[in-house]
Structure 1
């Protein structure tokens, strides 16, 4: 459920830790940098080290541990591709984190962590080739910037220059806000991006919600003013509830069919049939609408919203159906070579006492 995380803290180190790192006497750690940073009007010694097995990154200043950041799945390094399906899976990873941190300082479980970044992510048993095109024109209530779309490069070939190869398979859709970033992408393609061939599996939709800034994260987790997110707030049930709430805020009118068959309906149907785009000058229908009619940004945004509503209605797609409220959704773990792994799941268990 949690992917990347970062937190600030102030935890005293064991005596001699900095010297041991500098002299390579802690074999489980790699010293990345040992320098000074101007803090206010004084210089502070800042040491950055990385845990070899898990990639956990720590920042040390003087006798204190100041910051940690890392990958939550890699805290179980033997099987990072397996997603958390129970509270015990989450607890195992937190326990491993504290075990690692306590090689640097005592009583790490008692420290206060101020989380400045939390990425919530699931790899869903949904077909990316169905869901990604649906979100090309979608809008999210918390994000005002333009949606970013990325298309697959040719397998096995490096990208040349700034212009990607023209491909007809949508790989990634990104909604990039100031404190929230939502990414939807094809996990199978991401795992196989360095291979000459990508297997064709109709599953593996990865959906990531990146939350930044401690105050914003606290507000999204419904904390009272002045309170920050604690470890107790990062249970699987709570994280999933926040994740579901965020994805439920896409501006998708639910229920009724379009009131009339108008231009937005025609464009939505054409968007679903790339084989017809050659007749539009090899442009997407919405691009052709903008170019040929000379419409402005605001008019285009309204048309994209209307087209998106028709597309979701035509496909009968709703996040509330994909992400049920009382249990985890259908998930899939993608292993090496992009192969879906057979993983037993008991997702109802985590919500019994929540």
Structure 2
């Protein structure tokens, strides 16, 4: 529980947010989300607040409007003494993953849907576990999460967790991951030995908020406990035989740390779809973008064109084939999602005009 009289600035509250707060509303930060309600933190403690009518209407129009962990909300104090979550304040950053909606028959509808995993985050920790020498990091997963992290507006940081399990192979593993994450801070971390924990903590100075993302068994909850200095999240032992952990966290939760800063623990992510990419993929593959500047043609697709600097780098071994294949895959997915989003927006606009036209015809009748 939060101590009554909590200074919300320690949770990230500032003048910009205060300017967006409706008159008479109580500010609160969303710590956990349930169906139709959220656990929120206010100056006088934790509260369970049901969604108000205004918020329910907004979420019915677009799932991205659903409250998520890290959001700042406006509460209304009802006459019976309980709080109601009336609206969500504008998000400074948002980590959104894409998906595909299903129609009433269970088939794919072709309508792109996004899910906000965390909001108002300053740092996205991409946690990739290193199990043992024969197990390589999933570089494709790292690149995919980094694309979403860059797109969110937060600072991406890659963490190689369970670093104590790889011994002398750690340096090579770090080199491989660094090549897949140009321009991104990279740290080796062992929550068991304490290696790298203080470096991770340094990214949370003041009231900064971080979200930890990664696969099940990446050691996210163990890292949260190490940062908190106590067991605030339940963990499970590593399985014998393959060194992998078993998934424990089943919900996202905002955890204020005693030493300052906040961290959001998340369940292991099995599927991470891109959503409305503008520059996230380009930033992850900045090395390919730089090579492309040397191509003979400005619209080079890097497939078979003469004078392609990207293909030349591939031929010389400067650019790994895996890296180019990953770039092509994420580019295709980002373009597909953009097309789905455009189709949805066009359909919504057409529907609105039909309603307006029908209304106008009704008025013109004698």
TM-score, length of structure 2 as denominator length? 0.30
Relative contact order (C-alpha < 8 Å, sep 6+): which is higher?
1
TM-score, length of structure 1 as denominator length? 0.31
